[in-house]
Structure 1
Amino acid sequence: MVQAPAPISEVKTPGYTTELSELAIDLIRKAGCEYGDVRFCSYRTQNLYARDRSLSNLSDNVNSGFGVRVLLDGAWGFAASHNKTPAEVARIVALAVDIAKASRLSQLTRVQLVPVEAHRDTYITPIQIDPFTVPIAEKAELLLNVNEQLLNYGDRGIKKAYSYLSFSREDKTFASTEGSLIQQTIYRSYPGFGCTAIANGDAQSRSYERPPLNIGYEHIDRSDILSQVDRVAEEAIEKVHAPVGPSGIRSTLILKPTNLFLTIHESVGHPTELDRVYGYESNFAGTSFATTDKLGKLQYAAPWVNFKCDRTQPGGRSTAGYDDEGVASQDWYVVKDGTLVDYLTDRETAHRLGRPSSNGCAYADSWSSVPMVRIPNLGLEPGPEGGSHTATLAEMIANTEDGILIDGIGSFSIDQQRRNFQFGGDAFWKVEKGKVVGMLKNVTYHSMTTDFWNSVDAVGPASEWMQCGANNCGKGEPIQIAQMTHACVPVRVRDIQIGSSS
């Protein structure tokens, strides 16, 4: 026998009154909606940015409010407010209901949702040090120290230096007419720096970051950050004096995780968002070539390539206990043994696909935003130990007669169906006869998505797995910003078109 969930008023939620959540849900039910939810959210963000020898930007902001979403007669209605009072909750619920009624007038197909289990739970990102308890002066001193060390190379061409620290805390309470009440607190930390070298009428930059992760201030490893400064400066200097890379040829690429994660993001993550596949994003960001008629059939990548989503991944930028529809975090394959086997779904798109449940990809970047399908932590799995296509980075280099090694990200472009793309990088090295022989600059690579991933002939082992990710993925109108990790290993890709960004 399934036990009925406890009344919302019996569940204690820190930071928000249970009475407001209960009021919103009660009013949604009385309005005759088949479904409804409310999210009370508070966001604190702190950003420090140092340029050369000064702290050029410091911000520490808090914003909070709530959003109400209702499904009435198969149509969505949404409204939000920053004013958290009983009267305002009643007004916003009524407004959301009115919007749903108006939406129904022009809607051709009724929205239906897959079922979801009701949850009473709390999730908090595991951290050792709350980043908001660390003094601003300590943070600023680290950034200025980094910049000063970079500018010590001024006589060799380093003319610009920058460094940054970014922290956020997201508190949200989710309640639904299906009985869920979920409190989550999510911390994020992100440090990095870079510099620009100038010589011979050219300017070239080099950067370093500790990947954006859901973690506390312990992620700001001072010794690691400072130990990278000399290398970054030296490589920026070498890069500005390096020859321009080849153009109009085909070559072998060896891609480090710091470069590969963005290619995964754009050519695997976005094409498998099911709302894009169905055309929900066609007015703004485009659609997808990976349509549902190809599910289980499309050879997306080489048979030894596997892409897996995991919203439970420790430290992952999109890791949480639940998505913004109350669906518990989980992991699943999108590409298995090279074949397209699944998508990223919310409750609405999962129903349309005929799935029994959502895999939990609904996310809204604010209390005033509507949840939509967003890329979760989506990564390339390491090659199996002893596998015929598994190789370390050193082995890939040693077994490459002629190629280019790429680290970091640069400019990129990709068409609206996520099929035809171009990517750059932050640093490039020429590989000849199994050895790295010197830097190049202004290199880009071009390919079609499935051609590229089917040309992967070597995948790194678990020992070289690295968490890299995006902290500013934009989608929707009005645009929403989301974060996600694309953990991966180095790969070697054969016969790829090379161009130049100069």
Structure 2
Amino acid sequence: MDIRKTAQDGLAAAKKKKATYADIRHEIIRDRGLSYSGGVPDPIQESLSAGWAVRVLVDGAWGFASSDDPQLSIRELVDKAVIVAKASAKAMKSPVALSAVGPETGEYRSVYTTDPFTVQAKEVGQFLADIDAALGQQPGMTSRTCFASFRKLEKWFFSSEGSDLFQTIIQTGAGMTLAQAKSRRERAERSYPTSSGQYETSGYELLARLDMKSQAPRLAEEVAQLMAAPECPQKTTTLVLSGDMMSLVIHESIGHPLELDRVFGSERNFSGTSFATTDQLGKLQYGSKIVSVVSDPTASGGLGSFGWDDEGVKSRTVDLIRDGLLVDYLSSRETAARIGRNSTGAMRAEGWKNIPLVRMTNINLAPGDKSFEQLIGEVDDGIYMATPSSWSIDDLRKNFQFGCEIGWEIKGGRLAGVVTNPTFSGCTTMFWNACDAIGDAAQFTIWGTPNCGKGQPGQNARTGQGSSPARFTAVQVGG
């Protein structure tokens, strides 16, 4: 199949149907997953998917259609999208306007050393078997899991404005969990590198870099400590969060609230809106002066990295929060036009089946200047918490509670005893304005989230959140 010629035929058909704009994507997605559970290898999960997606703007309204049926011509797919657009136009309040973007041409290939799909499944299985054996040697544990996951995405994008793009993106994830349970209530779990594993835009080499086997004794020791530990005390205190815990807080309390389609109400009937309304742009003191956050799909290794979004907008770093002040949103061409700005290049679809939505890229908190020893050492009395275990946030993304796998009391500038079931709660802007220290660049990691849900029908996006450990004052913990 000549993909470029097929797409050009589709764009020509859209023009004949009076589309004022059209874009066409073709995607090939390959996934592979291997895992061990309690010493037993699970069935290998493998899939290959390929299809076309057509989006048109007709009579001022969007139409979309997609298919993996080789018997369905691209012209027929365009016809379906046009029918949807014309039906949508009848219920439209105002016609869609798009912010300007020049035609883009080129190729993007993510950086990796070893394509994981060139590695035999038997070799990956043996790698995991060795990790499982290391976990199984830890005394007193009642369950253990480990996994490795790989994705290869090939994507072509063509638009009626002249864009002609190709991207190849390879992503790898891996992780492990060790747990002990005496009863339904008496249970402790520790994960590495974090509770859902670490995912990056990288190749098979990530597995060796994570060095999971060496972490098994530490996980077992911490599980044992948790089983004997007291509950996290309930009080208002200084809180230090690990980088992986910061990743989830950034995702839920900054990333989602700053999706501009959500701000305009597109998620109102599903997962809510946002307190960060456009009348507060340039005015809202979102965090303290040391809090600066960017959208950066160019970041090396980030799970939310790419060359162009699914509207053909070139990836770039965009300030979202600068010195604590709200200065921009994650946006599409349509939503950006509504506030008189250019798209920040955050329009992304889950595969060829779906229409793109405004999604997170890599949402990164700028590092500070504190070593981990300083973050802890400057605290006379407080709590250090690590690794996400639960979260809850209201439909305005304003009031939240997070739970962690493990916590330590801080006494006299030192980590003291372990506490179990550590939680903290707060209000988004009050919490971020209470940030008084951020770890330095040596501690910075972009943590990958492989399953960010949004939309109806639901879509999963792969996003990154970069952070060092950070410290907050007067936070409610426990309870």
* TM-aligned CA deviation for residue 455 of structure 1: 0.5
Deviations, residues 296-347 of structure 1 (Å, cap 9, x unaligned): 1101000111011111001111111100000000001100010000000000
Task: Write the letter of the residue equivalent to 2:237.
Answer: S
Equivalence for 1:203: 187
* TM-aligned CA deviation for residue 36 of structure 1: 0.4
Equivalence for 1:220: 207
Q: Indicate yes or no: 2:313 matched with 1:334.
A: no
Gaps in structure 2 of 5+ consecutive residues: none
- Distance across 1 between alignment mates of 2:416 and 2:233: 15
Q: Percent identity?
A: 38
Cα 1:147/1:16, change in 2 over 3 Å = farther
Equivalence for 2:426: 447
Q: Indicate yes or no: 2:121 matched with 1:136.
A: yes
Task: Write the letter of the residue equivalent to 1:451.
Answer: M
Deviations, residues 377-415 of structure 1 (Å, cap 9, x unaligned): 0111012xxxxxx42111121111111111111100000
- Distance across 2 between alignment mates of 1:217 and 1:455: 40
Equivalence for 1:8: none
- Distance across 2 between alignment mates of 1:222 and 1:184: 25
* TM-aligned CA deviation for residue 223 of structure 1: 7.2
Task: Write the letter of the residue equivalent to 1:202.
Answer: E
* Equivalent residue for 2:141, pick from 149, 158, 161: 158
Equivalent residue runs for 1:283-294 within 5 Å:
283-294=269-280
- Whether the aligned pair in 2 keeps the contact of 1:460 and 1:489 (CA below 8 Å) is yes
Ranges of 4+ aligned residues in structure 1 off by more than 3 Å: none
Please provide the CA RMSD for this pair: 1.3
- Distance across 2 between alignment mates of 1:223 and 1:120: 36
Task: Write the letter of the residue equivalent to 1:215.
Answer: S
Equivalence for 2:60: 74
Deviates more, 1:328-337 or 1:117-126: 117-126
* TM-aligned CA deviation for residue 466 of structure 1: 1.5
Q: Indicate yes or no: 2:174 matched with 1:191.
A: yes
Cα 1:349/1:391, change in 2 over 3 Å = same
* Equivalent residue for 2:407, pick from 428, 442, 445: 428
- Whether the aligned pair in 2 keeps the contact of 1:66 and 1:84 (CA below 8 Å) is no
With the length of structure 2 as denominator, give the TM-score of the two structures.
Answer: 0.97
Deviations, residues 94-121 of structure 1 (Å, cap 9, x unaligned): 1111111111011111111011111121
Task: Write the letter of the residue equivalent to 1:171.
Answer: E
* Equivalent residue for 2:362, pick from 377, 391, 398: 377
* TM-aligned CA deviation for residue 222 of structure 1: 6.4
Question: Size of the alignment, in residue pairs?
Answer: 475
* TM-aligned CA deviation for residue 199 of structure 1: 4.3
* TM-aligned CA deviation for residue 469 of structure 1: 2.5
| 1:358 partner SS | coil
Gaps in structure 1 of 5+ consecutive residues: 1-14, 384-389
- Whether the aligned pair in 1 keeps the contact of 2:11 and 2:159 (CA below 8 Å) is yes
- Whether the aligned pair in 2 keeps the contact of 1:287 and 1:417 (CA below 8 Å) is yes
- Distance across 1 between alignment mates of 2:48 and 2:262: 32
* Equivalent residue for 1:364, pick from 336, 344, 349: 349
- Distance across 1 between alignment mates of 2:111 and 2:209: 20
- Whether the aligned pair in 2 keeps the contact of 1:318 and 1:377 (CA below 8 Å) is yes
- Distance across 2 between alignment mates of 1:223 and 1:102: 51
- Whether the aligned pair in 2 keeps the contact of 1:296 and 1:340 (CA below 8 Å) is yes
Equivalence for 2:333: 347
- Whether the aligned pair in 2 keeps the contact of 1:66 and 1:368 (CA below 8 Å) is yes
Task: Write the letter of the residue equivalent to 2:186.
Answer: D
- Whether the aligned pair in 1 keeps the contact of 2:405 and 2:422 (CA below 8 Å) is no
| 1:141 partner SS | helix
* Equivalent residue for 1:391, pick from 364, 370, 375: 370
* TM-aligned CA deviation for residue 16 of structure 1: 5.1
- Distance across 2 between alignment mates of 1:309 and 1:63: 29
* TM-aligned CA deviation for residue 60 of structure 1: 1.0
* TM-aligned CA deviation for residue 267 of structure 1: 0.1
- Whether the aligned pair in 2 keeps the contact of 1:16 and 1:173 (CA below 8 Å) is no
* TM-aligned CA deviation for residue 144 of structure 1: 2.0
- Distance across 2 between alignment mates of 1:484 and 1:392: 27
Deviations, residues 393-441 of structure 1 (Å, cap 9, x unaligned): 1112111111111111110000001000000112211111111112110
* Equivalent residue for 1:481, pick from 460, 464, 472: 460
Deviates more, 1:478-487 or 1:221-230: 221-230
* Equivalent residue for 2:262, pick from 276, 283, 303: 276
